[in-house]
Amino acid sequence: MPKELVRVTPARLQRWEDCPRRYRATYLDRPAPARGGAWAHSTLGAVVHNVLRAYFESPPDQRDPEDLPVLLRRYWKGDGFRDREQAAEYRSRAAKWLDEYARRPEAAGEPVALERWVSAPTGALIVEGRVDRIDDRDGQLVVVDYKTGRHVLTTEDARDSRALALYLMAARRTLRRPGSRVELHHLPTGRVVAWDHDAETLAEHRRHAERIAEELSAAASALDRGADPDEHFPPRPGRGCSVCEFRRSCPEGRAAAPDLEPWDLLAP
Ligand code: SF4
């Protein structure tokens, strides 16, 4: 019998690599363990993504940066911020980021897709996921991912992002068009970093994704057979434990990284 294709999203693969225990708590444990509260940086990221989606839904000749404050007001949320003053400060920062971004050349085109679900069989996997934006530039697809965090991006971030590479493969298949470029657009700095993949760099990402998918499938099968969850989904303590939504129920994670305030990871 041919082997069944494993269906994965880049987020699932990343979660497994970060920490198998966190993967199990996120996708397999039912009822799901209690999660921590909202993080201000996640709230801000979601707001900015929603505003940009709404903004780019209009055709280029009807888009006006002056409309952005209205969209920001519509989508704004204050979850996770320290207080009203901090929320207000970041709301005005987001307004500035959005205004500056909307006037850049990268914001002038007409996207082919916004928050589009794409999917493709690639080797032993079916890769799928939701892409922030897909542009068509001179007949070539470009996968665009927005970032709003503290990390200042480099070209290596675009080159090494497995999520972007897998999205590109899935977007080419779903939209049946060629493309090689992936881009990260960092709103707080206005920085755009890009990478042009070729067959070999995509194949390397695909092989790595297949290895990870095989590991997590084997662990899930063992769990179904009643194996010890901690043996097959061990904790992988590290810096990420500070923001893990399951740290309250994970002694190893609490010992590995300090508690953070929900607003500590906002871009400075
Ligand atoms: S706190 Fe750390 S070790 Fe524990 S589940 Fe979360 S990421 Fe894994």
Is 232 inside a domain boundary? no
Amino acid 248: pLDDT: 92
Q: How far is the CA of 212 from the centre of ligand 1 (A)?
A: 18
| Ligand 1 atom showing the smallest separation from residue 245 Cα | 6
Q: Torsion angle, CA of 87/245/192/53, rounded to 10 degrees? A: -70
Is 164 inside a domain boundary? yes
Is 156 inside a domain boundary? yes
Phi, psi of 24 (to 5 degrees): -60, -45
> Residue 16 has what DSSP assignment?
H
Residues 6+ apart with CB under 8 A from 211: none
| Ligand 1 atom showing the smallest separation from residue 21 Cα | 5
Residues 6+ apart with CB under 8 A from 31: none
Give the residue numbers spanning the domain of 153: 113-204
Amino acid 3: pLDDT: 67
Considering its fold, how many domains does the chain have in total?
1
Is 128 inside a domain boundary? yes
pTM for the predicted model, two decimal places:
0.94
Q: How far is the CA of 248 from the centre of ligand 1 (A)?
A: 9
Q: Which two tokens stand for residue 38?
A: 């909202």
If you take atom 7 of ligand 1, which residue's CA is the nearest one?
A: 241
Phi, psi of 91 (to 5 degrees): -65, -40
Is 142 inside a domain boundary? yes
Q: How far is the CA of 61 from the centre of ligand 1 (A)?
A: 47
Phi, psi of 43 (to 5 degrees): -60, -45
Residues touching ligand 1 (Cβ under 6 Å) are 19, 21-22, 235-237, 240-241, 244, 246-247, 250, 252-253
Q: Torsion angle, CA of 8/159/245/39, rounded to 10 degrees? A: -130
Pocket residue to mutate for ligand 1, from 14, 21, 29, 233, most atoms within 8 A of Cβ: 21
Among residues 252, 251, 234, 249, the alpha carbon closest in space to that of 16 is found at 234
Cα 243–Cα 131–Cα 260 angle in degrees, nearest 5: 10
Q: How far is the CA of 58 from the centre of ligand 1 (A)?
A: 41
Specify the CATH number for the domain of residue 158. 3.90.320.10
Amino acid 71: pLDDT: 98
Q: How far is the CA of 21 from the centre of ligand 1 (A)?
A: 6
Pocket residue to mutate for ligand 1, from 230, 248, 252, most atoms within 8 A of Cβ: 252
Cα 138–Cα 11–Cα 117 angle in degrees, nearest 5: 45
Is 85 inside a domain boundary? no
Amino acid 32: pLDDT: 87
- Summarised one tens digit per residue, pLDDT across range 224-250 is 999 999 999 999 999 999 999 999 999
Q: Which two tokens stand for residue 218?
A: 């084997």
> Which positions of the chain have pLDDT values less than 50?
none
Is 252 inside a domain boundary? no
Where residue 55 falls (left for φ over 0; alpha for ψ -120 to 50; beta otherwise) is: alpha
